[in-house]
Chain A
Amino acid sequence: MPPYDDWNKIDEEEEEELQDASFFEGKKDVILFCIDCSESMLELRDDPNYEDVKTCHLFTALEAAMQIQKRKIIVGPNDSVGILLFNTTRKSENGRTEVSELKRNTFILQPITPLSAPKVQELIQLLDAARENPDELKQTFPPLIGKRVPTGDVFTSCNWVLRDGAPKTATKRVFLITDEDDPHSGPGRKQLITSARTTLDDLVQAGVSVEPFFISTEGKPFDVAKFYSHTLLPTNLEEEEALADNSSVLPETISIARIEDLLSQMRIHEVPKRALFSVPFQLADGFTIGVKGYGLVTEQKKGSYKYFVDLGDRMEVATSRTVYIDEDRQADVDKTKIVYGAGQGVTTTADDEEDDSNLGFGVKTTKPGQRPFYSAEEIRSFRTLGLEPGIKLLGFKDREELRFEDNVKHSQFIYPDEMSFSGSKRTFNALLKSMASKNKVALALTLVRRNATPVFCALLPQDEHLDENGFLEPPGIHLIPLPFADDIRAAPIEEAFRASDDLKDAARAWIDKLSVKNGTYPPDSYPNPALAYHNAQLQASAFREEFDPDSFEDLTEPNIGKIHKRAGSLMKEWKLALINDDTANVVIPTTGSKRKADVSVDEAEIRSKYEAGVLGKLRVDQLKDFLKAKSQPVSGKKADLIERVAAWLDSH
């Protein structure tokens, strides 16, 4: 991670790169967990993971909420979270003036506030207590017996809680967790459904979206059609639009999960879906549709540290501001007055410049009225070549034309936007189908932001289908930026010794053993270990706990045991074949006459010296040559080098 100052010094050119991330960081996200606290949610069940441990749905839901809080606190330290329970008789404490009086039988466990370590710990303590005493939750949050809170009241409470606590520009979401598929089966059903709809509508109007997580068990399957599809889905078109516009509940976002999957379901929704850009996609002259772009793959980096000021009672983050100054005069320059020019190169030695030196280096003098530099707007037009944001189709090519090595950065994903061009969906869909069936990729010139640079992209279609894990791969097109000629480096090595077929076959043997037939690269199996290690320490520090490095498990390390078990003997055979290969004894003649006298000593000699314990007799350059040949670092003093040589010989 670069030090903060470097990170801070973003030139406008690089800013584009950072925008991906800052775009997400700039926005706050608010989640209100709205958890059913009914009898069935509190009913004790056997823990699926541990024997003789009792748990309940509420516990799992709270634990999931805690886990999400822990994740969010790192990903978005400015986000806010709250927890609301319903179907409990517990009353909100008086004296909370901030929170409006809630509807009966709803209880606010945590009001919407920015995330903090104490807030997470509070929840952890509650969970710990519940783990020790399975009845703890039931006692703390006594369920409403025999009846249920009208769903409308739940939505109303959510609305109030969010209104009180959420910043208005944030994205606001309610994670609704319940196992009751038909809360209002009794009398007054019709009216209750109507009120639920009305209140949901109010919620949606307030910019809140509801993402339901329904718990389904064998004994109590969850049938969405009973109640929720009527309530959450619109009944007529008029409402359909209202909701469509406001991203309310969608059929595909209703997750019905086993309780064990609750957390993983929530993880998918952890980050609110946000478009990175919305641009026209021109297929031909006068034939343009609208698309929105999303970042489905973006490197998640460690957070950067911030500078704090000790104000005695608290630590306050210092706001940083970049100013441009005229160094000789030590004066700030108004940003609107900055002009842009080429760099002046290196400073000449002081003595050979006479007249300009009193003005300072790099100063440019010109006649009044002449304009030697460009304005910011001109600079931008040089970068964009006057293009407006958009994607412009250039044609189609075979899929094979998109080569492995033609990559410089991560892809983006586009999906039609009916809101900017009506008919985008059908056109996009037809394009997608046509490209997929013909096995084609498209080539396009793209400029996704006003201050970005134009790039050529390959458009790779993705049909909708279910992946191995049952996730729906969404329909859309991947936008893969292609390298320019400027970005491509030639192969530095043109010729080398090649393996015989026998040796190749020996290698093939263990490759076959270690291949997963229908495998692919599984991103989900590889959480970033360095990031996790960092976050674990950050959390420990925030919780004032000791961090135990030994408890950390790096899931990206290859499974060595399994590799040896499956292919160890084959690898050994290959190694033997390699040693017996003719080329083993070929020495490449050193080319070039300018080389200094050959000082290198061969490995056998070094080994014998090592065994005799007289490695110290070798010279530093000999040690270095050896280490270099073994791709080992050559830094450090002689003692370090000897140690490293010894270590290498030890292990080989």
Chain B
Amino acid sequence: MTHLEYALRFVKLKVQEMIFNGRKTDQCGVITFGSEETDNIVNDKNGGYDNVEEYIAIGQPNGDTLSKIDDLRPSTVAGDAIDGLIVGIETQAEYLSTKKTWTRKIVLLTNAECPIEVEDWEAIVKKMNALDISLTIVGIDFDDEELPFTEPNKTVHKTANESFYHQLTSGLKSGIVGNCTFALQEIAKPDIKPVRSTLMGTVLRLGDVETSAEEAVEILVKTSKCTALTRPKSWKKYALREDDAGQAMLIDDTKNDPKVVYTPLKMQTEYYVDRSSEEDKDGDVKMEDDETNLLDGDVKPKDQEGKKEDNLEKVEKEELVRGFKYGTTYTPCPDGQFPRLHTTKGIDICGFFPAKRFRRELSMGEVQYIWADPTSPQQQVALSSVVQALYEKGAVAIARWVSKDEMDPKMGVLFPEVFDKVECLLWVQMPFADDVRRYTFASLDNLVSKTGEQITKHPYIPTEIQLDAMDNFVDAMDLMTAGEKDEEGNRTPWFNPADSYNPSIHRTKQAMFHCAVVPDITTNPLPPPHPDLLKYFNPPKKVLKRAKGAAEECKEVFKVKEVPKRVAKAGAKGVKKGHDHALEDDDMLLLDRKREVDSKAGLKAAGSLMDVDSAQPLELVSVSPAKEKGKGKAADQEGSDTEDEDEDEFVAVSLPAENEELLLTRKDPAAGVKTPKPSSHRGAAPLPTPARSVSPQIDPGRAPGRIIGSTYPLKDFEKNLVQGDVVTKAVEDLCEVVVEIVLRPFASRRSGEMIECLKVLRDTCLKEDEIDAWNAFLPNLKEKCLQKPGNPEFWDEVKALGRDISLISNKEARKYGGAASVSERRAEEFVA
């Protein structure tokens, strides 16, 4: 990298910062000295000042500014830095001649290798001080004690120039010389621009100001934000412009230097309507999950997209009318909202309660300051008296806040805050009744057996030893004195929100700056995040060291074991129906772990059970079968995405005596029945949860790779349907199993059952959009039955059911939003 490129990196970062902040009042220009061209206002007027070019005129920078800076190349001539500086001062002065209040800054970048004329420098200092210009000289390989850096074999020129620059800046009101490397380091530090919140006027009220004005309390107040959630800046989307063949499109610059083009993308919303279907389908506005898909690299199978789009027709926004859905009922609402509740601006106090009864976890959002009107001493003492009284009493107020007339009210709590020289109230929004969800969770302590007896010993309940170990751990991990020392030498708590940078914001910003200044991120990868961003990512070393013993102790006594997750299904087909954020996530998690699970699954789990058993011989560990089953079921849970269900654990536990016995009987099937299943099949076939009517010992008769067995095909099938996302596989397998069974000897004994299977199968195919599968299966079944040795009797039984079992016609399919290539007539004839 040339010195020029290195210096320009600093320039570009500074320019990018201005682009990033996007302020109209942040402007810059670029003047080059030692350039081939001469083009500057001083030269225009008076001549001289050769090889100084006003390369970029002062203005608000943008992407083009950066690419223009990129075009700079080293020249063959030398330039005088002082000439450059003087041109800079003049250019800036002219540009700001009507903008007196602007802050003037000049940054001079040089490697100080070229000779400079230093006479008259005092005049420059005088002029710069008069104009209040601050000067930063960024030197490449300048000596720097702080860094520390000393250039070996420094040229005489450079040594002289460097010391001159120090002399120059020391004469300035505001001047500094620095090393470029150091400057780049500084620029990489996360920094926070303090945002001054605007003060919004409103009124704090208590009582009725309209009819009982002489009694009602009314204080003029100003509100401002105390916390405001800041997010990482959003990225702009681009795409490589391609030709029709999908190849990157090249454009020829004049220099015969081919380039590719990345073009910024605009977002557009398109509307589609499904005119064809009679049935009310999903009926809801669906957002395409682009992000999720993108991230997972999960491109939807083309055929599915196609199917979905067949019926969709694009509509113009003008044709659309606004309305609400009330269930499936359409409710017109052309304005997009109904008349609003009438409200009056202000903060109304509803009552007071003790601060210690405030439930911190109910705080809902950002916090606001409430100040007395800064122009009115009377209002200030008024608010002050209220705040002091609340503070003294240890109370807070409940209040209702309307930010503007006719705006929706919010409920919240006002909390007294006493600063050194001023008092104020803090507001935080609290939930309405509608915002609180009361879910039930099983008690962690109160385990009751079926007979209503309290259980005190159970693997869910920590023992005294475990409680002690946790107490020690909590003490050891205490952070109250783990921070830095304060002025008086006392240790402060570790971690303070005011020192914690949002790593996402600053990392994203760093990445944005990086890609704005380097031409290729593959060869110039983003450097690691600044250490300041990660300083709170791990507990302090001291604390970790102190807590090591306690943590080991905890590990020892609690014996937490990861339960290997089972993969619900392997096929991508299965995923297609249950699209849902959470599900997606879970699937990802599942897939991540899949390999591990596959290899270790059975035995490891068994091993961990043994551990628990042997570790706590006194407590009859009824949890072990729970775990065994948990393992078996975890997959189903995720698959059927009924998250809530597995949560509700059972607290009822049988008495120990009974327990032991059951444990024994339970171990049998767990160990005996096909526990070491082939891994490929593991995911698809959950251990049969023995239904009461089914003895667990019975082999479900599933062929490898199948999720439907020949023993209880219908039960297997229905279970898989409930699971939800293996419909295609289930249908496919059931088709095969039915044919198998029908062609077995003595099949007539099960023909009733098979007919039942067919009915369910057909119904499922119709509703789950597996129509093609049915329409392919039925002719196949017919053919097999009528072949020799077949089972013609069975086919007769099927035929006897008539039209209801026949092929699915297009007409029928349409009712469920599907399509079929079979006509109604053919369907009728097929079973005739």
| Stretch from A39-47, A140-148, A242-250 contacting the other chain | A242-250
Q: Is B466 in contact with chain A by the CB < 8 A criterion?
A: yes
Kindly report which residue of chain B lies nearest to residue A403, judged by CB atoms: B497
Residue pairs across A and B with Cβ atoms less than 8 A apart, 25 shown, are A201-B692, A238-B696, A239-B692, A245-B645, A247-B642, A247-B644, A252-B443, A299-B365, A305-B323, A318-B320, A326-B263, A360-B264, A364-B238, A365-B67, A367-B519, A389-B585, A406-B497, A445-B537, A449-B585, A489-B197, A492-B197, A493-B424, A521-B411, A525-B433, A557-B348
Distance of A125 from chain B, by nearest CB (Å): 16
Q: Are A429 and B228 in contact, CB atoms less than 8 angstroms apart?
A: no
Question: Scoring A residues 406 to 448 as 1 if CB is less than 8 Å from chain B, else 0, what string do you get?
Answer: 1111110101111111111111111111110110100101000
Cα–Cα distance between A510 and B297 once the two chains are bound (Å): 63
Q: Which residues of A contact B469 (CB under 8 A)?
A: 430
Q: A419-B630, A571-B216, A583-B377 known; 19 other A-B pairs, CB under 8 Å?
A: A207-B640, A236-B654, A247-B648, A305-B322, A307-B271, A321-B272, A328-B263, A342-B20, A346-B62, A356-B67, A418-B627, A422-B627, A495-B421, A498-B384, A506-B385, A511-B390, A554-B409, A588-B377, A652-B209
Contacts known (A169-B641, A320-B269, A486-B505); A395 close to B494, Cβ less than 8 A: yes
Point out the residue from A250, A299, A326, A507 that lies within 8 Å of B265, measured CB to CB: A326
Q: Which residues of A contact B392 (CB under 8 A)?
A: 504, 508
Q: Are A363 and B644 in contact, CB atoms less than 8 angstroms apart?
A: no
| Stretch from A88-96, A127-135, A212-220, A333-341 contacting the other chain | A333-341
Q: Are B365 and A571 in contact, CB atoms less than 8 angstroms apart?
A: no
Q: Which residues of B contact A27 (CB under 8 A)?
A: 580, 641
Q: Are A74 and B357 in contact, CB atoms less than 8 angstroms apart?
A: no
Point out the residue from A308, A426, A493, A560 that lies within 8 Å of B461, measured CB to CB: A426
Q: Is A283 in contact with chain B by the CB < 8 A criterion?
A: yes
Kindly report which residue of chain A lies nearest to residue B648, judged by CB atoms: A247
Q: Is A609 in contact with chain B by the CB < 8 A criterion?
A: no
Point out the residue from B232, B268, B312, B395 that lies within 8 Å of A319, measured CB to CB: B312
Q: Is B373 in contact with chain A by the CB < 8 A criterion?
A: yes
Q: Which residues of A contact B693 (CB under 8 A)?
A: 198, 201
Distance of B589 from chain A, by nearest CB (Å): 8
Point out the residue from A198, A367, A530 that lies within 8 Å of B340, measured CB to CB: A530
Interface residues of B in 639-654 (CB under 8 A from A): 640-654
Contacts known (A322-B290, A326-B265); A303 close to B324, Cβ less than 8 A: yes
Kindly report which residue of chain A lies nearest to residue B199, judged by CB atoms: A492
Q: Are A497 and B384 in contact, CB atoms less than 8 angstroms apart?
A: yes
Distance of B200 from chain A, by nearest CB (Å): 9
Question: Scoring A residues 441 to 483 as 1 if CB is less than 8 Å from chain B, else 0, what string do you get?
Answer: 0010100011101101000101010000001101110101011
Question: Scoring B residues 352 to 393 as 1 if CB is less than 8 Å from chain A, else 0, what string do you get?
Answer: 111001111111111101011111111011101110111011
Question: Scoring B residues 290 to 314 as 1 if CB is less than 8 Å from chain A, else 0, what string do you get?
Answer: 1111110101000000000000100
Q: Is B19 in contact with chain A by the CB < 8 A criterion?
A: yes
Q: Is A546 in contact with chain B by the CB < 8 A criterion?
A: no
Q: Which residues of B contact A325 (CB under 8 A)?
A: 265-268
Q: Is B215 in contact with chain A by the CB < 8 A criterion?
A: yes
Contacts known (A307-B320, A366-B519, A417-B647); A326 close to B241, Cβ less than 8 A: yes
Q: Is B110 in contact with chain A by the CB < 8 A criterion?
A: no
Q: Are A341 and B238 in contact, CB atoms less than 8 angstroms apart?
A: yes
Q: Which residues of B contact A568 (CB under 8 A)?
A: 207, 212, 215
Q: Is B331 in contact with chain A by the CB < 8 A criterion?
A: yes
Q: Are B551 and A480 in contact, CB atoms less than 8 angstroms apart?
A: no
- Most chain B CB inside 10 Å of its own CB: which residue of A361, A482, A486: A486
Interface residues of A in 368-397 (CB under 8 A from B): 368, 370-374, 376-380, 382-385, 389, 393-397
- Most chain B CB inside 10 Å of its own CB: which residue of A294, A484, A556: A484
Cα–Cα distance between A402 and B222 once the two chains are bound (Å): 26
Q: Is A124 in contact with chain B by the CB < 8 A criterion?
A: no
Cα–Cα distance between A329 and B551 once the two chains are bound (Å): 62
Q: Are A339 and B239 in contact, CB atoms less than 8 angstroms apart?
A: yes
Q: Which residues of B contact A490 (CB under 8 A)?
A: 194, 196
| Stretch from A56-64, A175-183, A271-279, A611-619 contacting the other chain | A271-279
Q: Are B273 and A311 in contact, CB atoms less than 8 angstroms apart?
A: yes
Q: Are A337 and B240 in contact, CB atoms less than 8 angstroms apart?
A: yes
Q: Which residues of B contact A584 (CB under 8 A)?
A: 377-378
Q: Are B374 and A493 in contact, CB atoms less than 8 angstroms apart?
A: yes
Q: Which residues of A contact B558 (CB under 8 A)?
A: 287, 423, 426-427, 430
Contacts known (A345-B61, A529-B341, A558-B351); A241 close to B274, Cβ less than 8 A: no
Question: Scoring A residues 495 to 531 as 1 if CB is less than 8 Å from chain B, else 0, what string do you get?
Answer: 1111110011111101110111111110111111111
Q: Is A487 in contact with chain B by the CB < 8 A criterion?
A: yes
Contacts known (A296-B437, A320-B285, A326-B241); A518 close to B232, Cβ less than 8 A: no
Kindly report which residue of chain B lies nearest to residue A415, judged by CB atoms: B441
Q: Are A202 and B337 in contact, CB atoms less than 8 angstroms apart?
A: no
| Stretch from B152-160, B595-603, B715-723 contacting the other chain | B715-723
Distance of A251 from chain B, by nearest CB (Å): 6
Q: Is A598 in contact with chain B by the CB < 8 A criterion?
A: no
Q: Are A315 and B365 in contact, CB atoms less than 8 angstroms apart?
A: no
Cα–Cα distance between A170 and B470 once the two chains are bound (Å): 40
Kindly report which residue of chain A lies nearest to residue B229, judged by CB atoms: A408
Q: Is A19 in contact with chain B by the CB < 8 A criterion?
A: yes
Size of the B side of the interface (Cβ < 8 Å), in residues, is 312
Closest 4 A/B residue pairs (Cβ): A344-B63, A345-B62, A115-B327, A631-B201
Q: Is B452 in contact with chain A by the CB < 8 A criterion?
A: yes
Q: Which residues of A contact B696 (CB under 8 A)?
A: 238
Q: Which residues of A contact B443 (CB under 8 A)?
A: 252, 464, 472, 474-475
Interface residues on A, range: 35 or more
Q: Are A376 and B207 in contact, CB atoms less than 8 angstroms apart?
A: no
Interface of chain B, main secondary structure = mixed
Q: Are A492 and B504 in contact, CB atoms less than 8 angstroms apart?
A: no
Contacts known (A366-B519, A423-B560, A450-B295); A574 close to B217, Cβ less than 8 A: yes
Question: Scoring A residues 280 to 319 as 1 if CB is less than 8 Å from chain B, else 0, what string do you get?
Answer: 0001111111101011111110110111111100111111
Kindly report which residue of chain B lies nearest to residue A524, judged by CB atoms: B433
Interface of chain A, main secondary structure = mixed
Q: Are B441 and A251 in contact, CB atoms less than 8 angstroms apart?
A: no
Q: Are A340 and B373 in contact, CB atoms less than 8 angstroms apart?
A: no
Contacts known (A364-B262, A571-B215); A26 close to B580, Cβ less than 8 A: yes
Q: Are A453 and B504 in contact, CB atoms less than 8 angstroms apart?
A: yes
Question: Scoring B residues 195 to 228 as 1 if CB is less than 8 Å from chain A, else 0, what string do you get?
Answer: 1110101110011111011111100111011111
Kindly report which residue of chain A lies nearest to residue B723, judged by CB atoms: A207
Q: Is A185 in contact with chain B by the CB < 8 A criterion?
A: no
Q: Are A116 and B511 in contact, CB atoms less than 8 angstroms apart?
A: no
| Stretch from B168-176, B179-187, B478-486, B786-794 contacting the other chain | B478-486
Point out the residue from A253, A308, A415 that lies within 8 Å of B323, measured CB to CB: A308
Cα–Cα distance between A273 and B516 once the two chains are bound (Å): 46
Interface residues of A in 186-223 (CB under 8 A from B): 197-198, 201-202, 205-207, 209
Q: Is A534 in contact with chain B by the CB < 8 A criterion?
A: yes
Q: Are A558 and B349 in contact, CB atoms less than 8 angstroms apart?
A: yes
Q: Is B29 in contact with chain A by the CB < 8 A criterion?
A: no
Cα–Cα distance between A363 and B187 once the two chains are bound (Å): 27
Q: Are B251 and A365 in contact, CB atoms less than 8 angstroms apart?
A: yes
Kindly report which residue of chain A lies nearest to residue B251, judged by CB atoms: A365
Interface residues of A in 145-193 (CB under 8 A from B): 168-169, 171
Q: Are B644 and A272 in contact, CB atoms less than 8 angstroms apart?
A: yes
Q: Which residues of B contact A277 (CB under 8 A)?
A: 582, 585
Question: Scoring B residues 83 to 109 as 1 if CB is less than 8 Å from chain A, else 0, what string do you get?
Answer: 000000000000000000000000000
Distance of B581 from chain A, by nearest CB (Å): 5
Q: Are A372 and B323 in contact, CB atoms less than 8 angstroms apart?
A: no
Kindly report which residue of chain B lies nearest to residue A253, judged by CB atoms: B440
Q: Is B319 in contact with chain A by the CB < 8 A criterion?
A: yes
Cα–Cα distance between A359 and B67 once the two chains are bound (Å): 14
Q: Are B294 and A300 in contact, CB atoms less than 8 angstroms apart?
A: no
Q: Is A347 in contact with chain B by the CB < 8 A criterion?
A: yes
Q: Are B501 and A434 in contact, CB atoms less than 8 angstroms apart?
A: no
Q: Are B199 and A324 in contact, CB atoms less than 8 angstroms apart?
A: no
Q: Is B408 in contact with chain A by the CB < 8 A criterion?
A: yes
